[in-house]
Structure formats: C-alpha cells, structure tokens
C-alpha cells in the first residue's frame, strides 16, 4: 500500500503524515508541499490513498484530486480541510472521505476503515521500525511485544548500528552503561532469545544475523524512517521532527548527526 499526503503548510503536512503513520505504521507514505510535485509523482506511481488539503496553491486539492483520478480512477481521495463548504465538490468527485481539521488518529482510522476502493492487503510480513520520536517496532501494524523492556532497547541499538555486528561486550556497555559487568551475560542471553522469539512469532525471522558472540540486523529486511532519511527520501526528511529514539540517552550521537544533516539541506 502506498499513501500520499499533501499540504502547503509544513507543520500541517508533518502532523498529517505522522498521524497517518501511527494508524498504518508499516505503509509507505510520500509527502508533498507542492501540489505540482504531488501530481507529477502520481502520474508515475500508483497511489492507493491520497490525503489532500483543499486550500493549496497554485493548484487546490479539488483540482489535484481530479487530475490524480484521471490517471488512477481507483485512487481513494480523502480531503483534509478546516472548512465545510467544500463537501459538495468532494461528493462530485466521489471522494472516499472528508476530514475536518484538526486531523486525529480516530478520524484517519475511521476513513481508512471505510475506503471507497478497498486496498488489498500485502502478503508477507515485514518489520517497520520508527526511530523519529520514541523508538517503536511494528509487525503487521501491531507493536512487537517483548518479555523484557531491555529487549526493545537491544533492538533499537541494533537498528542504530545499521547492520554492523555488535559484540556482547559492546551491547552490555550500552544497555547497562557503568554497570556493564559479567553478571549481565546471562541476562543478555535471555534478551537475545526474547528478541528472536518475538521476531519469529511475527514472521520476521530474516531480520537478525548471529555469529558467535555477536548479533546484528539485516537493514534490507526492515522498513525504517532513519534508513529512508539517510537514503534521501523526501517523505522521511519531512517526517523528521527533531527527535530520534528519545527514550535512549546513547542515541544522542546519532541524533546530533541527524541535526547536522538537517541543517545542511
């Protein structure tokens, strides 16, 4: 499934994109502030759902929706606006939905659950990892559940390392900082087992790479906003809100690098 979000206002677009991502954490979202760029993209790529602000310039959301529909008659158009007088235009276009701002998770979920053109669910499971803001991991749009809180932090660190194999000593130094003694060896063993179990139960058994005394992830096996940011994808650049794995102090090194990259854009 591929979703488009479009709004002239930077903060409004970032808020809309984050809200849609929370409802559908594993889908690909492309975001645009320029309706002309949105149309150009929609002419080349198949979009399943488009969340369009109506009051855009130089092309408003109604006209953008009309042109997107010409190339993709089964696209689901969901308008977002602060004004109610456009409902008639939306009905003429057979829009799938109409959200009055502010856009909330409940409003987005309600519209997605009642699409005019239902989107076939993709087969096969893939892990989606959110690093901007707090770290979260999802499989089939459901948060991964772990037996230990530290297991989630272990996965977060492996994601941060972008596929590099990490030794037991390195991991213990990160997870327990000044108390990284040998007494944590058996605990780390339990964390690794817990991580493998959670991934296996969700069909994500291809995510981990293990060697004697080392563990890492396969970056190509996950969808990750951080990796998309590094790859220069516009939607990831727009979704970065100045926070990275906020609950982990060791993530500040990567956060600083992201801030530097953001300033260079």
CA 149, CA 55: separation in Å to the nearest integer? 44
| pLDDT band per the 50, 70, 90 thresholds, residue 123 | very low
Q: Is CATH 3.40.50.2300 what the domain over 2-112 is classified as, yes or no?
A: yes
What is the reported pTM? 0.60
* Phi (first) and psi of residue 54, to 5 degrees: -80, -40
Please report the sign of the dihedral spanned by the C-alpha atoms of residue 68, residue 73, residue 78, residue 83: positive
Query: Structurally, what CATH architecture does the domain formed by 127-224 represent?
Result: Orthogonal Bundle (1.10)
Summarised one tens digit per residue, pLDDT across range 22-58 is 888 878 899 999 999 999 999 999 899 999 999 898 8
Contacts of 83 (CB under 8 A, 6+ apart): 54, 55
Residues with Cβ < 8 Å from 11, sequence gap 6 or more? none
Strand residue runs (E) in the chain: 2-6, 28-32, 49-53, 76-81, 97-100, 127-130, 136-139, 142-143, 166-167, 208-211, 214-217, 222-224
Among residues of the chain, what percentage have pLDDT more than 90?
62
The encoded tokens of residue 131 equal 């690093």
pLDDT(232) > 70: yes
| Sequence spans of domains, the chain | 2-112, 127-224
- Main-chain dihedrals φ then ψ at residue 148, nearest 5 degrees: -125, 140
């Amino acid at each position: 499934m591929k979703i488009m979000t479009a709004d002239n206002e930077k903060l409004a677009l970032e808020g809309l994109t984050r809200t849609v991502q929370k409802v559908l954490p594993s889908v690909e979202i492309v975001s645009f502030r320029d309706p002309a760029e949105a149309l150009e993209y929609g002419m080349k790529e198949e979009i399943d759902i488009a969340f369009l602000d109506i009051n855009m310039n130089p092309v408003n959301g109604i006209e953008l929706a009309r042109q997107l529909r010409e190339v993709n008659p089964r696209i689901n158009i969901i308008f977002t606006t602060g004004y109610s007088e456009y409902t008639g235009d939306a009905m003429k276009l057979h829009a799938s939905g109409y959200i009055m701002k502010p856009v909330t998770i409940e409003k987005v979920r309600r519209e997605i659950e009642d699409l005019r053109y239902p989107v076939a669910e993709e087969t096969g499971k893939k892990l989606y990892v959110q690093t901007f803001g707090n770290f979260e991991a999802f499989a089939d749009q459901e948060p991964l559940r772990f037996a230990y809180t530290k297991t989630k932090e272990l996965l977060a660190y492996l994601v941060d390392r972008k596929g590099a194999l990490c030794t037991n000593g390195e991991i213990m130094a990160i997870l327990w900082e000044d108390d990284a003694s040998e007494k944590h060896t058996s605990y780390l063993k339990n964390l690794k087992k817990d991580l493998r179990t959670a991934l296996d139960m969700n069909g994500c058994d291809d995510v981990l790479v293990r060697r004697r005394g080392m563990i890492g992830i396969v970056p190509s096996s996950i969808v990750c906003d951080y990796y998309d940011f590094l790859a220069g994808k516009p939607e990831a650049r727009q979704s970065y809100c100045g926070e990275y794995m906020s609950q982990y102090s060791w993530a500040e090194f990567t956060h600083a690098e992201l801030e530097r990259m953001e300033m260079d854009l």
